[in-house]
Structure 1
Amino acid sequence: MIVYVECSFFIPDVSSLKGKRSVLQRMIERVKNDYNVSVAEIDYQDLWQRTVIALVCVSSAKEPAEGEVRRAVRFLESNPEWELTDLQWDYY
């Protein structure tokens, strides 16, 4: 089972791509280190207040993969530096 989710975020307090990268890289590294998921920025690389992050987890059953992705999404949502604007789930 493959669980895939796209998370769209608005980052209101940054005023440059450098500021965005600071927030984004810190969160991506934490997700990579703390959760059993693959993660990457997949859209809006040239915009400084928006980003889309994709998370993927592969498992032999749906429940463990979905649980791990949900924990990672909750962690991303907990960051006060950005606001979650959209969440799209897919299962393969």
Structure 2
Amino acid sequence: MTGPTGRGRVHRDMWIGWIEFDYLLGDVHSLKQKRSVTKPLLAEIRRKFAVSAAEVDHLDLHRRAAIGVTAVSPDRAHLTELLDTVERFGADRPDIQLVATRRRQISSYDID
């Protein structure tokens, strides 16, 4: 979708999407062990999909991890496809149990 920017130019939407994974970690008994699971997972998500990723919740709980992943694209279809791929990757983890996912996409026009 395009629209005026107020300067005589046409502005194209910027699409912002994110997904949050809520994991239950297996045989983890300390925050140090938790980091040994989450750090490689975050690094692999960032490397494999060229997205931003961080642990976003359950920071003080050693058996839970919430991983947030975000991406930006001028094309909503591309963003949807990317988030679908990341979601499949995040759900197919034999070493940890996925409890829930939350996902959203918004347009830059939705933010004001």
> Normalising by structure 2, what TM-score?
0.76
String of CA shifts for 1:36-77, please: whole Å, max 9, x gaps: 211111001110000111111111111111211221222222
Aligned partner of 1:21 among 27, 32, 35 = 35
Q: Percent identity?
A: 28
1:67 aligns with 2:81: yes
CA distance in 1, matches of 2:96, 2:71: 23
> Which residue of the partner structure matches residue 52 of structure 1?
66
> Which residue of the partner structure matches residue 6 of structure 1?
20
How many residues align? The count is: 92
> Which residue of the partner structure matches residue 76 of structure 1?
90
CA distance in 2, matches of 1:91, 1:71: 15
Kindly indicate whether structure 1 or structure 2 has the higher relative contact order, using CA contacts under 8 Å at least 6 residues apart.
Answer: 1
Contact 1:36 1:68 in 2 (8 A): no
Most deviating of 63-72 and 14-23? 63-72
Larger radius of gyration, structure 1 or 2? 2
Most deviating of 42-51 and 69-78? 69-78
Paired residue secondary structure (1:47): coil
> Which residue of the partner structure matches residue 40 of structure 1?
54
Paired residue secondary structure (2:74): coil
CA distance in 2, matches of 1:84, 1:43: 14
Gaps of 5+ in 1: none
User: How far is the alpha carbon of 1:17 from its aligned partner?
Assistant: 0.9
Moved beyond 2 Å, runs of 4+:
none
> Normalising by structure 1, what TM-score?
0.92
